[in-house]
């Protein structure tokens, strides 16, 4: 039996999955980045990196990698879910990051509201976009 002596992107990808599953997200991100280098443009890895950043509450990085994931997709499959997920990343930053200044929190909520508004455009008969946009707008209201 012959074994390959060089690592392939899948090796790094699955090692990243394992590390992320064990809560070692920072180590997982390093493995996912190696996988990207070797993968010749597999966009789904960017989604995994985004998820790892979410686990360690680095929301700006999570959003950046999720936007890369969305931009790299060759089809519109799951566009509604992808749009919702991006808005949810911004939402999580706004409600979870206690270090945000008031202006930064409002700017982040505005990003979330804008993304959730896109859901209303994509599926105007679905309440999800309207609901989440309203939640974000409510938190921006000082009289709330």
Structure-model confidence comparison of residues 86 and 51, the more confident one: 86
The average pLDDT across 76-88 equals 91
Q: What percent of the chain has pLDDT over 70?
A: 93
Question: Taking a C-beta distance cutoff of 8 angstroms, is the pair 20, 48 a contact?
Answer: yes
Residue 48: how many other CB atoms lie within 10 Å: 22
CA dist 82 and 96 (Å) reads 21
Question: What's the pLDDT score for residue 41?
Answer: 65
Residue where the block lists tokens 């390093």: 30
- 126 torsion bin: left (phi>0), alpha (psi -120 to 50), beta (else): beta
Give residue-wise pLDDT tens across range 95-136.
999 999 999 999 999 999 999 999 999 999 999 999 999 999
Question: Taking a C-beta distance cutoff of 8 angstroms, is the pair 132, 116 a contact?
Answer: yes
């Amino acid at each position: 039996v012959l074994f390959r002596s060089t690592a392939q992107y899948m090796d790094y990808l699955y090692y990243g999955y394992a590390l992320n599953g064990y809560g070692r997200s920072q180590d997982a991100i390093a493995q996912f980045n190696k996988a990207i280098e070797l993968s010749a443009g597999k966009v789904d890895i960017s989604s995994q990196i985004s998820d790892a950043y979410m686990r360690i509450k680095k929301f700006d990085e999570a959003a950046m990698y999720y936007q890369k994931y969305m931009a790299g997709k060759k089809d519109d499959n799951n566009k509604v879910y992808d749009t919702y997920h991006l808005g949810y990343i911004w939402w999580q930053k706004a409600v979870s990051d206690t270090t945000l200044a008031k202006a930064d929190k409002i700017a982040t909520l505005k990003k979330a509201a804008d993304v959730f508004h896109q859901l209303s455009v994509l599926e105007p008969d679905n309440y999800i976009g309207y609901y989440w946009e309203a939640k974000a707008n409510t938190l921006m209201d000082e009289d709330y």
